[in-house]
Amino acid sequence: MTARINPKPRNELAANGSAVEHIKDRSNYLRGNLADDFRNPLTGAISEDHVQLVKFHGSYMQDDRDVRLQRQEKKLEPAYSFMIRLRVAGGDLTAEQWVKLDDISNQFGNGTSRITTRQALQFHGIIKFDLKNTIQAMDAALLDSIAGCGDVNRNVMCTPDPTLSNLHAQVFPWAQKISDHLLPRSRAYHEIWLDEAEGKMLVAGGEAEEIEPLYGKHYLPRKFKIAIAIPPFNDMDVYANDIGLIAVEEDGKLAGFNVAVGGGLGFTFGRDDTYPRLASEIGFCTPEELLGVCFHIVAIQRDYGNRQDRKLSRFKYTIDRCGLEWFKQELNTRLGFVLGEVRPFKFITTGDRFGWRSTTDGLWHLGLRLEYGRVLDNETHRLKSALRRIAEQNLSGFRMTGNQNLILTGVREEHIDTLESILQAHGYAADASHLSGLRRNSIACVALNTCPQAMAEAERYLPDLISKLEVSLDKYGLRHDDIKIRMTGCPNGCGRSVLGEIGLIGKSPGRYHLYLGASFNGNRLNTLYRENLDETAILNTLDALFAAYAAQRRDAETFGDFVIRQGYVSNQQAS
């Protein structure tokens, strides 16, 4: 085996490269003419090139789809605004940062913030003329949105709950290390948003490698996701990631990580060559080897990923096209060593745990359920104000989970009552035990009205749908059973709906495809069961399934396992 330690990025525009490849190519390392376009006072939008480039800076251009037609009639352009997503490895924020971020959501955003399914925090509704101020305010909180979106390695996730395992403290810092290691190096973000003096302009040949030694001029073919889980908890849904890392404990210490590659959930309706795929376990590496392993996996995707058709450019398709065996060979060659054998482990759940728990250092941590990650005040509660108060009094740290929830970390025992009384005073329950098992295990993506991809509602609709489903659950005595339901407004997979025991994917306003049979621990995808259901059909269909489940399930059989055993859908477990 010849070791090619570090193949350099090619820095050549791919033959027949997609439009986005051309945009990256002419962007001068993500600069384009963003600064000028953001100053154009005649429109709240930016050019198509810049729409693509600004993603690398952590932001998506969106418009309020609720008012699109009204504004068109009024001869106004759509109500454009920007979503900006912070990069927060492991979802870890200090109280001081939380206060500053809360200020941003009030001053520049739509008054809410949202915890994503990948432990990031994002703001919606920022108008073009405020985006620079927003980024500067984030910078003042020592936070940024570099690589929040775009064709790069995204926010690195890691099991956030410090009480899950005594291994946690050893594992958690690796999220930040991987994030730093794979961060784009271009200074475009600092120049455009933070007024840093212009550095190296577009240069030829060798110098380009200095600008982006990993990514090169064209970055990755598509987004890239990494997550670390600590068994037996798969709250990170590691198999949904391009690289899933599974921490392995031996003799009370972190021995290393099992490595899984090629996960990705998104697909496109009407394109049979697109599909969700769970990551395949390929081996084991030690902590010392981890950064190199991640770097080379990313570099292989950089070199071999499809740059012609963005629908086929995720890493999972590269692996299936070239073959898993080929990939292992290529990786081993580049590493100069062979990955170890996968070490045994077991996952039991993808869920979060709610309520108070303590760690051996005597600190307490509160798992707090949020409705689909939305931090806001509304008619029923004032969660946003409560969290701000808690942060202002510095009662806890703030750690975002992969299930859109929040852990208030490191609370001193004498502060528990204060913190609880703040939540209570704002109408928020510290504990989720009053909620149904279905609701506790639910995820919804943002969808309408801001997401341009959405074909149907998700976040704004799932709470009501669950209330209606709870009537059935009560009828069959299933209220307290953990059943995982996930809804997304499109098949792109932000809400990981193809990993729901019940998955609902929007097809058009008010209509959903119903998928069934994912495993509770996240190692099996679900299968399409019924198409284009409206609410009545969803309720009737699930009512019948719940009835059957209550009557015929075996012992602790989960809903996802039950529907497969009974033949409602076939088994999609990766072999």
Partner 1 sequence: MLLSPQQFQQVSGAVRGLSPAQLAWVSGYLSGLTHQFDTPDLLPVTASGTLKTTILYGSQTGNGKKIAEQLLARLQAQGAGAVLVNLKDYRPQQLKQEQRVVLVISTHGNGEPPDDARAFCNFLQAERAPRLDTLEYAVLALGDSSYEEFCQTGLLLDQRLAELGATRLLERVDCDVDFASTATQWQQQVAAKTPATHTGNSIHFNLNPLVKQVIQASEYTAENPFRAELLNSIVLTDTGSDKEVLHLELSLEGSGIAYQPGDILAVAFDNDPALVDEILQLTGLSGNTPVQSNGTTTDLYSALRHQRELTGVTRRQLTSYAHLINHPELQTAAADKNAMQDWLYAADWLDVLREFSGKLSAQQLVDLLRPLQPRQYSIASSPTAHPDEVHLLVKRVEYTFQTRQHCGAASNWLARLQAGETASVHLKPNPHFKLPTDPQSKIIMIGAGTGVAPFRSFLFEREAQGIRGNSWLFFGEQHFRTDFLYQAEWQQLLGNGTLERMSVAFSRDQAEKIYVQQRLREEGASVWQWLQEGAHVYVCGDMNRMAKDVQQALVDIVATHSGRTAQEAVEWLEQLLAERRYQRDVY
Radius of gyration of the chain (CA): 23
| Burial class of residue 291 in the structure, from the number of CB atoms within 10 Å of its CB (0-12 exposed, 13-18 middle, 19+ buried) | middle
**Smallest separation, CB 346 to partner 1 (Å):** 40
Nearest to partner 1 of 128, 524 (CB atom):
128
Q: Report yes or no: 527 and 570 within 8 Å, Cβ to Cβ.
A: yes
- Closest CA relative to residue 483, chosen from 472, 281, 15: 472
Examine the residue annotation and report whether 445 is marked as an active-site residue of this protein: yes
- Closest CA relative to residue 523, chosen from 158, 240, 248: 240
Grouping H, G, I as helix, E, B as strand and the rest as coil, residue 108 is coil
Examine the residue annotation and report whether 85 is marked as an active-site residue of this protein: yes
Return the structure tokens found at 231. Answer: 């068994």
- Closest CA relative to residue 319, chosen from 308, 309, 337, 331: 331
Examine the residue annotation and report whether 154 is marked as an active-site residue of this protein: yes
DSSP characters over 520-559:
TTSSB--EEEEEEE-HHHHHHHHHHHHHHHHHH--TT--H
Return the structure tokens found at 500. Answer: 């729901």
Which of the ranges 66-74, 291-299, 343-351, 483-491 carries the binding residues for partner 1, by CB under 8 A? Answer: 66-74
β-sheet bridge partners, residue 233: 230, 349
Residue 510 in contact with partner 1, rule: CB under 8 A: yes
Contact pick of 35, 47, 71, 385 for partner 1 (by CB under 8 A): 71
Which of the ranges 35-43, 53-61, 228-236, 336-344 carries the binding residues for partner 1, by CB under 8 A? Answer: 35-43
Examine the residue annotation and report whether 271 is marked as an active-site residue of this protein: no
Q: Where are the beta strands (DSSP E) in 162-218?
A: none
- x/- mask, partner 1, residues 116-155, rule CB under 8 A, reads -----------x-x--------------------------
Residue 536 in contact with partner 1, rule: CB under 8 A: no
**Given 445, 484, 507, 524, the catalytic residue:** 445
Nearest to partner 1 of 269, 326 (CB atom):
269
- If binding means CB under 8 A, how many residues of this protein chain bind partner 1? 27
Grouping H, G, I as helix, E, B as strand and the rest as coil, residue 366 is strand
Q: What is the largest CA-CA distance in the chain?
A: 70
Residue 69 in contact with partner 1, rule: CB under 8 A: yes
Which of the ranges 28-36, 42-50, 343-351, 420-428 carries the binding residues for partner 1, by CB under 8 A? Answer: 42-50
Q: What angle do the packed helices 416-425 and 383-392 form, to 10 degrees?
A: 150
Q: Report yes or no: 154 and 224 within 8 Å, Cβ to Cβ.
A: yes
Contact pick of 22, 190, 415, 511 for partner 1 (by CB under 8 A): 511
Residue 75 in contact with partner 1, rule: CB under 8 A: yes
Nearest to partner 1 of 67, 291 (CB atom):
67
Residue 74 in contact with partner 1, rule: CB under 8 A: yes
**Given 225, 353, 382, 384, the catalytic residue:** 225
Return the structure tokens found at 21. Answer: 């490849």
Helix residue ranges, H only, 307-405: 315-322, 324-335, 383-392
| Burial class of residue 256 in the structure, from the number of CB atoms within 10 Å of its CB (0-12 exposed, 13-18 middle, 19+ buried) | buried
Which of the ranges 315-323, 390-398, 505-513, 559-567 carries the binding residues for partner 1, by CB under 8 A? Answer: 505-513
Examine the residue annotation and report whether 158 is marked as an active-site residue of this protein: no
Examine the residue annotation and report whether 223 is marked as an active-site residue of this protein: yes
- x/- mask, partner 1, residues 251-290, rule CB under 8 A, reads -------------------x--------------------
Positions in 410-469 near partner 1 (CB under 8 A): 455
Residue 508 in contact with partner 1, rule: CB under 8 A: yes
Return the structure tokens found at 416. Answer: 């528990």
**Smallest separation, CB 71 to partner 1 (Å):** 6
Q: Catalytic residues, which ones?
A: 85, 154, 223, 225, 445, 451, 490, 494
Which residues lie near partner 1 (CB under 8 A)?
A: 41-44, 67-77, 79, 127, 129, 270, 455, 507-511, 531-532
